[in-house]
A and B are shown apart, each in its own frame.
Chain A
Amino acid sequence: MVVFDRKSEPHDPGLIRKLKKTALSIRRDVLTMTTRAGSGHPGGSLSCADLLAALYFHHLRYDPENPGWEDRDRFILSKGHACPALYSALSMAGFFSREALRDLRKCGSILQGHPDMNTTPGIEASTGSLGQGLSIGCGMALAARLDRREYRVYVLMGDGEMNEGQVWEAAMAGAHYEVDNLLAIVDRNMIQLDGPTEKILRLEPLNEKWKAFGWHVMEIDGHDMLQILEALDAAEKIKHKPTVIIAHTVKGKGVSFMENQVKYHGKALTEDELQKALEELDRGGEGERQE
C-alpha cells in the first residue's frame, strides 16, 4: 500500500512552493489536453487547479495502487466539466499513466468528456449533469458514519451550479443529518456558461444562504495555497454540521487573456493560443520560485 497521508506535514514555505508548482502543472495539462482534444472546458478547470493541488498532494488520504481502498477520502467533482484538471491531478498522483491524458475525449479513451467512475481509476462519482454531486457526497458521508469509518467526503461545485434546486435539497439534508465528515467547496469564479453569475441568476448573499441552511461557512482566496490548506484543516474541527468553503477564484486563472473571460468556459485554445498560454504559465511559474 502506498497510502498518501500527508495531512500532518507542516504548512511551511517548501510545501507551499511544491503545491504551487503542482497547480502549475495541472494548468499546463488542462490547456494541452483540451487543445489536443479540440474541445472541453478550460476556464473552470483553471479556476480549481490550486484547490485540486492542495487536496490531492497534501490533504486527501488515498492509495493510487488501490483506488477502492475502503478508508480512502472521497472526492467528488460535481462540476464534472472541469475533469481535465482532475484527470491531470489523478495522473500525477499515480492512478493512471501520463500518456492517458493524450486521449482525452477520444473514442475508447479512459478519460471521458465528463467523469465516469467505471472507466477512470480514482473517479468516485459519475458527474456532468450539474447539481448532483452534493447529494452523492451526503450519501457517502452517511455510509461512513454507518460503517464507523474515518474517511471524509469532499465535493467541489461550481457557482453557476448553485442555481440547481438539488444543491439546496442536499444542503438541507447535510445539515439535517449533521454530516460533519462532509465538506463542500464552491469554486466561486463569478462566471457561468452564458455570463456573470450575478447577471444570469443572482446568488448573493451566498454566505448567508449556506448559513441559513445550517452549514458552517468559510470564505477564502481559492488561489492562496496557505489559506486553502488552513481551511481544509479547520473544517475537520467543526462538529455536528457540514462545512462549506466558498473559494473565491478567477475563471481562466493563470493565463491573462483567459482570466474572467466567459468565452473560455467551453472552448479549447488554438495551437497558437496554447503556445502563448504555456509560455505565460512558465514565466508565472518562475516568478513564483523567486519569491
Chain B
Amino acid sequence: MKDRSKGFNLETRQEALMREAYGRTLAELGEKDSSIVVLDADLSTSTKTSVFAERFPERFFNVGVAEANLMGIAAGLASAGKIPFVSTFSVFGTEKGLSQFKQSIAYPKLNVKIVVTHGGLTVGEDGASHFCLWDIAIMRALPNTTVVVPADAIETEMAIMAVAKHQGPTFVRLTRPKTPLVYEEGYRYSGHQLKFEIGKSVTLEDGGDATIIATGPLVAEALVAASNLKMENLDVGVINMHTVKPLDERTVLKAAVETNALVTAEDHSVIGGLGGAVTEVLAENRPTPLRRIGVRDEYGESGPWRKLYERYGLTSQHIEKAVREVLKMKR
C-alpha cells in the first residue's frame, strides 16, 4: 500500500465554515464603510448575516420569507448609492429572486452583491427541494453578472473583501457545512503568499500530465486526487477557478496547451457551470480531451453531504478516475 497520509489529506485537514467567515468579514466591512447595507430573507441565523445585524441593526433588513421582494429592495437601495449584500440559501436566491435579480439588478448594472449559502449538494439532509445544482449556470448566463465560488473559509474572506470593492452585480456561492481548508491563514498555500483577484484563477499545483480545474469545495477534492496521483508518478496540476465568470480563459488555454488533458470539478450540475464554461472556451479555441466531474442532470436526494458526494461522483476518487480516463483519451 502506498502511504497516502503524506500528501493533501482530508482527514488531517482543518475545517471551517465559509458562512462564519462571511458574517465576520461583513461586519468588519460594515465598520469601515457606512454605505454597506445587508438584507436577508428569514435565514440570517443560517447565512450568518446575523453577525452584521447585531452590530448594525439600522443597516440590516430582514424582509421575511420573500425573496422576490428581497431583490427589489436591494435594487432600490443600490440605486441610491448603498452597497447591498443580499443573503439567503442559493436555491431561494437563485430561483425565487431570479426575475427580480435580472430585471431590477443585473440589467441596470446595479451594485448589488448576492451572497448565497447552502450551495450544491453540501445542503445534505434537506434534500432535493433545497439543492440548486444550476445556480452557477443560471447566474453565469446573465450579462453584467460576476460569479465567484470560494474554495474554503479563508478564500471566502478574501472574496468578500474583493467583492465589496468590485463594482456591479455579483453572485457569490458558499457552502453549508464545515469544509476542509485549502489555504493557510492569511491566504497562503504551501507557504506561498497569494493574492485574490476577481477573474484570476489560482494555480495551486503545477503539473505536466494533466490539469484539474476545480471550484468551490471540489478544490480540496482535486488536491487530494492530484496528491494521490503523484504517488503513481502522474504529474497533475490543480487550478482553483474561484471566479467562474468572467472565466480566466488564458489560464484554461495555457493548461490545455501544456497538458492536453483536462478535468473540471464542481459541486454543481455538469450542465452549464464550470464544466460548461471551460468546455465552451476549449471547443472554440483548442479542442482538448476533457472530463467533467459534477452531478449528472439529476435533482439529487437527502443524505449526509459526504455520502452524497460519493453517490453522485464528486469525491477525489472520482476525480482520479476521470484523470486516468482523460490521459487515455489524449494518447
The residue in A39, A163, A165, A266 that gathers the most chain B C-beta atoms within 10 A of its C-beta is: A163
Complex alpha-carbon distance, A106 and B307, angstroms: 9
* A204 to B322 CA separation, bound complex (whole angstroms): 57
A113 near B64: Cβ-Cβ < 8 Å: no
Once the chains are docked, how many angstroms separate the CA of A39 from the CA of B126?
8
**B126 contacts A113, C-beta separation under 8 Å:** yes
B207-249 vs A, CB cutoff 8 Å, 1 = contact: the mask equals 0000000000000000000000000000000000000000000
Q: Does any Cβ of A come within 8 Å of B65's Cβ?
A: yes
A200 CB contact (under 8 Å) in B62, B126, B127: B62
Q: Tally A-B pairs: CB < 8 A.
A: 98
Question: Is A146's beta carbon under 8 Å from chain B?
Answer: no
Nearest-neighbour CB distance to chain B for A160, whole angstroms, equals 5
Q: Contact check: which of A114, A127, A163, A165 meets B126 at CB < 8 Å? A: A114
Chain A residue at minimum C-beta to C-beta distance from B43:
A193
**Interface residues as binary, A128-169 with B (CB distance below 8 Å gives 1, 0 otherwise):** 111100000000000000000000000000001101110000
Contact A192 B130 (CB under 8 A): no
Partner of B302, one of A105, A130, A163, A193: A105
Which residues from chain B contact A222 at a C-beta distance below 8 Å? none
Q: Which residues of chain A (72-112) have a CB below 8 Å from chain B?
A: 80, 105-109, 112
- Whether B129 and A201, one on each chain, are in contact in the complex, defined by CB atoms closer than 8 angstroms, is no
Which residue of B40, B44, B65 is within 8 Å of A160 (Cβ)?
B65
Cβ contacts under 8 Å, B127 to chain A? 105, 112-114, 116, 128
Query: Cα distance A106–B45 when bound, in Å?
Result: 25
A37 to B124, CA, bound (A): 12
Mostly, the A contact residues are loop
Interface string of B48-92 (1 = CB under 8 A from A): 001000000000001111101100000000000000000000011
The reply to whether the CB of A279 lies closer than 8 angstroms to some CB of chain B is: no
Given the known inter-chain contacts A105-B302, A106-B302, please indicate yes or no for A39 contacting B45, CB distance below 8 A: no
Contact call A160/B42, Cβ cutoff below 8 A: yes
Residue of B nearest to A128 (CB): B129
With A129-B129, A164-B66, A192-B65 as known contacts, state yes or no: A113 contacts B42, CB within 8 Å.
Answer: no
Inter-chain contact A109/B66, CB cutoff 8 Å? no
Chain B's interface: helix, strand, loop or mixed, by majority? Answer: helix
Complex-state Cα separation, A62 to B38, whole angstroms: 47
Number of B residues with CB within 8 Å of any CB on chain A: 32
A233 within 8 A of B: no
| Residues from chain A with Cβ under 8 Å of B126 in the complex | 39, 113-114, 128
- Shortest distance in angstroms between B127's beta carbon and chain A's nearest beta carbon? 4
Residues of B within 8 A of A273 (CB): none
Instruction: Give the contacting residue for A105; candidates B40, B50, B95, B125; CB below 8 A.
Output: B125
- Asked if B95 and A201 sit within 8 Å, CB to CB, the answer is no
| The residue from A40, A105, A164, A192 contacting B303, defined by CB atoms under 8 A apart | A105
* CB contact under 8 A between A165 and B66, given known A105-B127, A112-B301, A114-B129: yes
Interchain CA distance A163-B65 in the complex, whole Å: 5
Q: How far is the CA of A39 from the CA of B129 in the complex (A)?
A: 16
Chain B residues in 8 Å Cβ range of A161: 65
The residues in A between 196 and 225 inclusive whose CB is less than 8 angstroms from any CB of B are: 200-201
In the bound complex, residues from chain B placing their C-beta under 8 Å from that of A193 are 42-43, 45-46, 65
Decide if A107 touches B303 in the complex (CB within 8 Å): yes
Does residue B308 face the partner (Cβ distance < 8 Å to A)?
yes
Within 8 Å CB of A165, what residues of B? 66, 68-69
Q: Which residue of A lies closest to B130 (CB)?
A: A128
- Nearest residue in A to B310 (C-beta to C-beta)? A107
Are B95 and A129 neighbours in the complex by a CB distance under 8 Å?
yes
Contact with B along A118-134 (1 / 0, CB 8 A): 00000000111111000
B311 at the interface (CB under 8 A from A): yes
Distance in angstroms between the alpha carbons of A108 and B42 in the assembled complex: 30
Please give, as numbers and ranges, the residues of chain B lying within 8 Å of A112 by CB-CB distance: 127-129, 301-302
Contact A40-B130, Cβ < 8 Å, known A106-B302, A129-B91, A129-B96: no
Across-interface contacts of B129 in A (CB, < 8 A): 80, 112-116, 126-129
CB–CB B62/A194 < 8 A: yes
Query: Contact between B45 and A113 (Cβ–Cβ < 8 Å)?
Result: no
Q: What residues of B have a CB within 8 angstroms of the CB of A200 in the complex?
A: 42, 62, 64
With A106-B303, A192-B42, A194-B44 already in contact, the answer to whether A164 and B125 are too (CB < 8 A) is no
Could you tell me if B66 and A201 are in contact, using CB atoms closer than 8 angstroms?
A: yes
Task: Known A40-B125, A193-B43, A194-B43; judge A113-B130 contact (CB<8 A).
Answer: yes
Contact (Cβ within 8 A) B308 A107 = yes
Q: Is B287 an interface residue (CB 8 A)?
A: no
Q: How far is it, in angstroms, between the C-alpha of A269 and the C-alpha of B130 when the chains are bound? A: 22
Query: Which B residue sits closest to A163, measured CB to CB?
Result: B64
Contacts of A131 in B (CB 8 A): 65, 96
- Check A113–B302 contact: CB distance below 8 A: yes
Residues on B with C-beta less than 8 A from A164 are 65-66
Question: In the complex, which residues of chain A have a beta carbon less than 8 angstroms from the beta carbon of B108?
Answer: none
Within the complex, the shortest CB–CB distance from B197 to chain A, in Å, comes to 35
B interface residues (Cβ-Cβ under 8 A, vs A): 40, 42-46, 50, 62-66, 68-69, 91-92, 95-96, 124-130, 301-304, 307-308, 311
Give 14 pairs: A residue, B residue, CB < 8 Å, sorted on A.
Answer: A38-B125, A109-B302, A112-B128, A113-B130, A114-B126, A116-B129, A129-B96, A129-B130, A131-B96, A160-B64, A160-B65, A163-B42, A165-B66, A201-B42
